[in-house]
Amino acid sequence: MKKAVLSPLISACIALLVAGVSPSYRAVDAACRILSDPLRRLLAGISSLFAFPVAEAALFVFPAVLALLPFLPRRKKGAALRLPSLAFAFCSLFLLLSVLPARRIAPSPEPVSEDDLTAFTVWLAERANGEEALLPPAKGKGTPPARKSVNELSDAVTDALKKTGLCPTEPCRVKATLFPGSFRRSGLLGYQFAFTGEAVIDPRAPAYTLPFTAAHEAAHQAGVLSEGLASFVSYVALTESDDPALRYAGWTGALDACLVCLPEKTRNEIVSSLVSRVREDLRLYDLVLPSSDSARAVEGSNAAAIRLRDGETSRSYDLFPRLCCRRYLALPRGDQAAARAIY
């Protein structure tokens, strides 16, 4: 078999494995340990050496390279034949890192009742009110930033994530996007780019959302690919922190997610019990993510990626409030280990 054919064939086999066409979960687990985890750690470690998002910087470099191609010496025929092989390998590696989890997802917990979810949301509102009283006075709209810079915030949330023991690998670094305006128009607060292993956030988003977004994307970087699980790990990390600003971000992040799951009357009653700054923060979240064609396009592509990773939408964002509520129900019994075992 010719080498030019062998390389794409191997890449295609990896892509099939990544896409879930595997005879058993054991084979996928083996691929995680042998391929996904080391590659994720390697690429995230390399990209963390740069203060800027490498993936976004490439958007400037690629057009310049394409513009220069006509002026470069013509390549040899053999090099041209290797281009399809390289393309297959690149696509397969991207699929491997973006689709294949670093840890198999445990079965979803049973749905929680509306009464339990309501009680949990009321408890979250009380925690948010209590934590707000410990924060510095507001200067302008909403909560002041938890840290002075994205680098300091990155250190805080990655340390908090490491202490949970819930991440398959360790997070490296959270960076600020080079395109905050585009983020806002697209309805994004952050993202994690699989091929470079970078966790990126919009530093101009409402301050109270930044720690949760940073922890969520760093959890993705550490191998927690499911959206719901990444949010759950972020919630545990932030609410167990010694820093009131991080705890506040954890409580309000969960509060945001749970309120939308409740009937309108119940939701309004809980919101009315919030202190003015917490209510203002929740309103800022809605204002900063306007509904637009670009936002809907990003939401659609994100939903497609979630289905590819997790199989169905209910395994993604909807899993977060259910996991948090299950943990809340277990904690009064003093069974911290059981609460963590939900993950």
Structure tokens at 139: 């200067």
Instruction: Please report which confidence band the pLDDT of residue 343 belongs to, taking 50, 70 and 90 as the band edges.
Output: very low
Per-residue model confidence as pLDDT tens digits over 268-283: 999 999 999 999 998 8
Q: What pLDDT does residue 311 have? A: 47
Place of tokens 């759950």: 232
The H or E element spanning position 174 is: strand 174-176
Check residue 315 and report its DSSP letter. Answer: G
How confident is the model over 54-71, as a mean pLDDT?
A: 76
Q: Is the pLDDT of residue 306 over 60?
A: no
User: Which residue type does 40 have?
Assistant: R
Question: What percentage of residues in the chain have a pLDDT greater than 90?
Answer: 31
Per-residue model confidence as pLDDT tens digits over 156-174: 999 999 998 888 888 989 9
Q: For residue 211, count CB atoms less than 10 angstroms from its CB and return exposed for 0-12, middle for 13-18, buried for 19 or more.
A: buried
Q: Is the pLDDT of residue 298 over 90?
A: no
Q: Is the pLDDT of residue 8 over 80?
A: no
Q: What is the pTM of this model?
A: 0.81
